[in-house]
Structure 1
Amino acid sequence: MISEMQLVFLILAITTICFLVPRFRADLVAAIALLSLLLTGLITVPEAFAGFSNTVVIMVAALFIVGEGVFQSGLAQKAGNLLIKTTKNSEWKLTVFMLILVAVLSGFISNTGTVAILLPVVVSLCRQMQLHPGKLLIPLAFASSMGGALTLIGTAPNLIASESLQDAGYGALNFFTFTPIGLIMLLVGIIYLWFVGRKMLDKPIDKRAGESEKFNAGELVDQYGLTDHIFSVKIPEGNELIGKSIKELRLPSTYSLMMLEVIKKESKSFKRLTGSRQAHPISVEPTYVIEADDIFVVYGEGEAVERLMSDTGALPVKNATHKIEESHLAEVILTPQSRLINKTIREVNFREKYGLTVLAMKHQFEDARRFSDEETLLYGDAILVHGNWKEINLLSAEKNDTVVLKSAAEDTELTNQTHKSWIAGFILLGMLLAMVFEWVPAVVAIVVAAVLMVLTDCVRQTDQAYQSINWQTVILIACMLPMATALENTGGVTFISEGLIGSLGVIGPLAVLAGLYAITSLFSQFISNTATAVLLFPVAILTAEQMGVSPIPMVMAVAFSSSMAFATPVATPPNAMVMAAGKYTFLDFIKVGIPLQILIALVAILLLPMFFPF
């Protein structure tokens, strides 16, 4: 007969395996695990849903709203602009200042959001300085993880560590408890990434990817293999298409063609006024009504274009030099939590939702190709889109789903509301001061800051505040907390703790701390660092109590180890985000990440007992 403890371990093992399968969403796996524990009677109903009222869950959700206010107000973008002004074409300045900036920002707001803001900035700077983006993007992701460990609110495991110690009767950690060791880790990480990691990632510049300082649409079109699919056709006087809208033609369904842009016939007076003979193309809307002498930039197969001209009387443009307008193109990558993943272009209504046309896509480790409506968007995909610069900037504001990597689109008021940045800055500063000096409980300070971000229009709409919350993380934490409760109730925590003490306790508490760090580090490479931390904090506390030592260094070892996950692209969302942009392979993360993983582990194991004696 299987015991209750064995049943918990069985459910935990199945849950861990499901976490490893990319097809399964982590939050759904955690919810099913929660129901399994409840239906088998291993936990009670109050215990099952206690996680949803846990202050850590509330703080994590509110911090996403605070971070959204920082992004929408333009405060984070100012940090990116500061990076541009400071580097001045120096690779040393770019690398070091980028690492420091992303680490500092990640210490106070979401590291995923920070990378989303700085990723296109760093790619643009690399293009200007003739550097391959892959040389700097893994360091960018790693620095965001190290920065998250600098403060209490930098990452969810730190918040859970403080809550776990408080629940066990040892008092909560203060805002800067993690900072001294976190700063040393960051310094060691920067030194390693500059002298070692950067050289491992040194790649030749892809000539097709562009070496010019300025965004070049032609290079991007060539990189995605679209050069032979762009054509120009003219609508002559008296043609049957004149007076019809683009939507009426049903070109995608009839010919598998898309009208991207139109060059209007200009009057002679306008030419004399502007002194220009070159007409600027405008993006074609479905409601656009065709006029005589319109020249259209068409995207599709050559045979389909010839069939269109044969059927309608449209004419080819001889010696055409028309190219896609630069401000109408953008390269986009999907974020790890994107709602578009595993859906087709048709299912997400991409054109209707964003006002943009998908031209081509690149799956991981595959060549770019034309898309079809039934093409499924996958984790790590990069896509090339076309549309008005206003729509491109609207898409760039969708930080939860996409990151615009390359674009020549102009800034809009939506993405650059600098007059709100000071307000957001004061709210963030007030929240930090309230937490540092403990004027109010941490959860109160964070929730008040989130509400103020909405009331002051730093987050422009309440709906956007809700959308900014990464519900996958919130549900994951709330559903995994009862797993730790079940382990405690059935003696599972005691079993793991006694195993650690039995194998390493003879050597001493430092060996046990190292063992905890290693176990956490291994799990966090493949499953959520939050889920790993939730499960191992009770083990750390009980192990310390059984050995008669302080649990604080043990708990902090688990917290640091769960955040320092560098060896795989799936270890953290920032790792996943830079994979497509830097054209990395799995091996790139292994060869750069594992040495850093070991180096940071040694620093933590040696320093923790010095700062927090057993």
Structure 2
Amino acid sequence: MFDCFHTSLLATLPIEEWIHSSPVQQWIVGILLIFIFVSFVKEWLPVEITALSATGLLMVFGILNTKQVLSSFGNSGPLTVVCMFILSASLEKTGLIADLSKIFNRVSKGREIYALVVITLGAFAVSPFVNNTPVVVILMPVVLSFCREHEIAPSKLLIPLSFATILGGTCTVVGTSTNVVVLGQVQKLGYDAIKMFTLAPMGLLYAAFGLIYLWTIGRKLLPNRETLSTLLPQGSQKDFLLQMRIIKDSPFIGESPLELIRRELSGMKIVEVRRKGVTLQEELPNIQLLEGDRVLVLCGTRKIAQAREAKGVDLGWDETRGLEALEQRDVLIVEGMVDIDSEFAGHTLTELKFRQRFNVLVLAIHRHGKNITQNIGQSTRLNEGDTLLLEGPEDGMDRILKKRRLIPLSRRSAELHNRHKRGWAITAMGIFILFGLLGSFDKYGAFFSFFSQFDPFYLSFIAALLVVITGCIKPREAYRSVDWGIIFLILGMLCIGDAMSQTGLARTIAETVVSTVGPFGPVFMLSALYLLCSILTEMVSNNAVAAVMAPLAYEMAVKFGVDPMPFIMAVMFGASASFSTPIGYQTNTYVYNAGGYKFSDFLRVGLPLNIALWILFTLTAPFFFPFH
């Protein structure tokens, strides 16, 4: 694959000149690529750190200099993704996306098939212009609430929700960060024929096929899976928190709170112990109760009624038992999912002092299709994507949810929408879509050519700036809305792609591939390229696949002597086609545990879709994107 050089050459060339020789640099970049992909699969480091570390090594070896790295950091691709995150957040803050839930509940009429069609069409309609992740995060609680109310398994709707956002994202250049990364890579190579809606004709056919599959064959393959909602006992939402004070001469002075539970509060749960207004941070078995300590316990409605009936007092115990009722508050049952960047990930509940910090109990954890209800305090470390069943007061829930420690699945955190600003958000999005659409018809006259000068970054930047200036979203909220891990991953991988082009590695691989499969023709190569991207994106980040494969696709088209457009499209569509695993695409990861799925569920539902879309692309792409 690579040029050969003689051993004698090594003896005559200075080491610096040898390292900077083209064959050696190609080998360095090739080995680095293998290391990157292995690191992504093995998860040795966060993916963005792996990508940036590889960029650092390229600078150390002299393959990229400061100017070249900074040129990748100034690429319009990641900047466009930043703007799209902000624009998506403005639609969320003004309540436009949340309004989808009202439409969903009104139109679905409690029927599973109606709900399936409505939720997938709604997600598909939004996804070409809004980042996929907030769409799924906002609609998951809506779907779960609907399923609880109508006794429908959430597993029947959540995979279709995720798949619909992926399909919708293929319809525009900005519909997914994958497409933006490819756009940035080929623009660096001097190819600028891709407009906002260049993908739309193929994308609409692609998405229509996928949606019909989900409504028919895929619907029958979806499982009925248990979720944490099935653990909710009847009437559990009517539990109370009772605060009781240890009085003088109480028999529990010097005893552990667990002894109190065993002897007098059977069936109740201790949330916290306060001493002189301060919550004790020790574990319950290590606490010795003192006079004046206040014990906060979780008590079901029946227990309260029984206590009142036995003692003849209102929600209390008489003092002969050594307890006195002081406080009563309603508690909530909430499902929440550990976010990808949550501080909870990697820690046990004991390490987090969960009960002491939030006055909230974790009743169960759902992971990989199983509910964990025993020994979850010290032995079970929380992972990204775990679903927790929580019980506790509203203020404790808000402290957890507002800082995005968990994504709420059964209850949204208290948050006001700037509905009076929605007109500005609609205006910004309207300009973004309209100008992009008109610019896609630049071949049909001067009027459309005028709009073709507004590339995706130009439009997304103006739209994002407009929603911030008009107050649809505050500057601090705009900064927080950006997933900086994705941005740095894209930046790092753009540098890798640049190194592949600079060293000639992309050209060398392309020449080797074309010389090997050339007799089969460009259609065969196009199909193989799509399939390779689709397989890789199931194992590693779709953005990483896009950044690496885009330069290869361009070079392959040049070597075949055909228009690069169909090969670039193969990378865009193939790198987004993540349906067979829950790890290839972020939205799949989000619905994985929330829907109670097993890994095999994605394989059973998604693999036929992957194969069908591969065949569809192979047969139709040459018509939408001719080779000449």
* Bin of the TM-score, shorter chain as denominator length: 0.7 to 0.9
Letter in 1 for 2:336: V
Alignment partners' CA distance in 2, 1:452 and 1:394: 31
The TM-score with structure 2 as length reference comes to: 0.79
The answer to whether the aligner puts 1:250 opposite 2:259 as a matched pair is no
Please state whether the residue corresponding to 2:97 is helix, strand or coil.
helix
The answer to whether the aligner puts 1:331 opposite 2:357 as a matched pair is no
Residue 536 of structure 1, CA deviation? 0.8
Aligned counterpart, 1:284: none
Q: 1:65 to 1:426 in 2, by over 3 A?
A: same
Q: 1:605 to 1:477 in 2, by over 3 A?
A: same
Alignment partners' CA distance in 2, 1:464 and 1:260: 37
Letter in 2 for 1:56: G
Aligned counterpart, 2:471: 457
- Alpha-carbon contact 2:160-2:214 (below 8 Å) kept: yes
- Alpha-carbon contact 1:331-1:404 (below 8 Å) kept: yes
Please state whether the residue corresponding to 2:554 is helix, strand or coil.
helix
Alignment partners' CA distance in 2, 1:425 and 1:396: 28
Alpha-carbon displacement from aligned partner over 1:303-334 (angstroms, at most 9, x marks no partner): xxxxxx99x922799xxxx99845x2211012
Alignment partners' CA distance in 1, 2:545 and 2:129: 22
Aligned counterpart, 1:473: 486
Q: 1:170 to 1:126 in 2, by over 3 A?
A: same
Please state whether the residue corresponding to 2:213 is helix, strand or coil.
helix
Q: Quick one: which of 384, 404, 409 aligns to 1:405?
A: 409
Larger radius of gyration: 2
Matches within 5 A, 1:570-581: 570-581=583-594
- Alpha-carbon contact 1:351-1:357 (below 8 Å) kept: yes
Letter in 2 for 1:259: L
Matches within 5 A, 1:342-381: 342-345=346-349, 355=358, 357-362=360-365, 364-365=367-368, 366=370, 367-369=372-374, 371-372=376-377, 376-381=381-386
Alpha-carbon displacement from aligned partner over 1:3-27 (angstroms, at most 9, x marks no partner): 2211111111011100012352111
What is the identity percentage for the equivalent residue pairs of Structure 1 and Structure 2? Answer: 27
Alignment partners' CA distance in 1, 2:34 and 2:193: 31
Please state whether the residue corresponding to 1:480 is helix, strand or coil.
helix
- Alpha-carbon contact 2:156-2:224 (below 8 Å) kept: yes
Alignment partners' CA distance in 2, 1:347 and 1:430: 49
Matches within 5 A, 1:154-193: 154-193=175-214
Residue 232 of structure 1, CA deviation? 6.4
Please state whether the residue corresponding to 1:549 is helix, strand or coil.
coil
- Alpha-carbon contact 1:72-1:416 (below 8 Å) kept: yes
Q: Quick one: which of 142, 147, 151 aligns to 2:172?
A: 151
Aligned counterpart, 2:322: 313
Alpha-carbon displacement from aligned partner over 1:270-291 (angstroms, at most 9, x marks no partner): xxxxxxx999xxxxxxxxxxxx
Aligned counterpart, 1:556: 569
Please state whether the residue corresponding to 2:334 is helix, strand or coil.
strand
- Alpha-carbon contact 1:74-1:420 (below 8 Å) kept: no
Q: Quick one: which of 256, 259, 267 aligns to 2:296?
A: 259
- Alpha-carbon contact 1:364-1:580 (below 8 Å) kept: yes
Alignment partners' CA distance in 1, 2:359 and 2:471: 27
Letter in 2 for 1:218: S
Residue 510 of structure 1, CA deviation? 0.4
Residue 494 of structure 1, CA deviation? 1.6
The TM-score with structure 1 as length reference comes to: 0.81
Matches within 5 A, 1:50-199: 50-199=71-220
Q: Quick one: which of 435, 440, 448 aligns to 2:462?
A: 448
Alpha-carbon displacement from aligned partner over 1:220-253 (angstroms, at most 9, x marks no partner): 99xxxxxxxx996755887889xx7674462754
- Alpha-carbon contact 1:103-1:146 (below 8 Å) kept: yes
Q: 1:595 to 1:446 in 2, by over 3 A?
A: same
Letter in 1 for 2:465: V
Q: 1:375 to 1:157 in 2, by over 3 A?
A: same
- Alpha-carbon contact 1:341-1:377 (below 8 Å) kept: yes
Alignment partners' CA distance in 1, 2:228 and 2:490: 45
Alignment partners' CA distance in 1, 2:330 and 2:44: 38
Question: How many equivalent pairs are there?
Answer: 557
Q: 1:85 to 1:356 in 2, by over 3 A?
A: farther
Q: Quick one: which of 606, 619, 628 aligns to 1:593?
A: 606
Q: 1:77 to 1:231 in 2, by over 3 A?
A: closer
Alignment partners' CA distance in 2, 1:216 and 1:182: 46
Residue 585 of structure 1, CA deviation? 1.1
- Alpha-carbon contact 2:241-2:296 (below 8 Å) kept: no
- Alpha-carbon contact 2:227-2:596 (below 8 Å) kept: no
Alignment partners' CA distance in 2, 1:107 and 1:77: 17
Aligned counterpart, 1:34: 55
Alignment partners' CA distance in 2, 1:251 and 1:341: 21
Residue 466 of structure 1, CA deviation? 1.2
The answer to whether the aligner puts 1:567 opposite 2:580 as a matched pair is yes
Residue 167 of structure 1, CA deviation? 3.5
* C-alpha RMSD of matched pairs (Å): 3.8
Residue 455 of structure 1, CA deviation? 2.7
Residue 97 of structure 1, CA deviation? 1.4
Alignment partners' CA distance in 1, 2:228 and 2:190: 60
Q: Quick one: which of 579, 590, 595 aligns to 1:582?
A: 595
Residue 525 of structure 1, CA deviation? 0.6
- Alpha-carbon contact 1:235-1:293 (below 8 Å) kept: no
Alignment partners' CA distance in 2, 1:170 and 1:207: 50
Q: Quick one: which of 212, 236, 247 aligns to 1:218?
A: 236
**Gap regions ≥5 residues in structure 1:** 222-229, 265-276, 280-291, 297-308
Bigger Cα displacement from structure 2, 199-208 vs 501-510: 199-208
Residue 346 of structure 1, CA deviation? 7.0
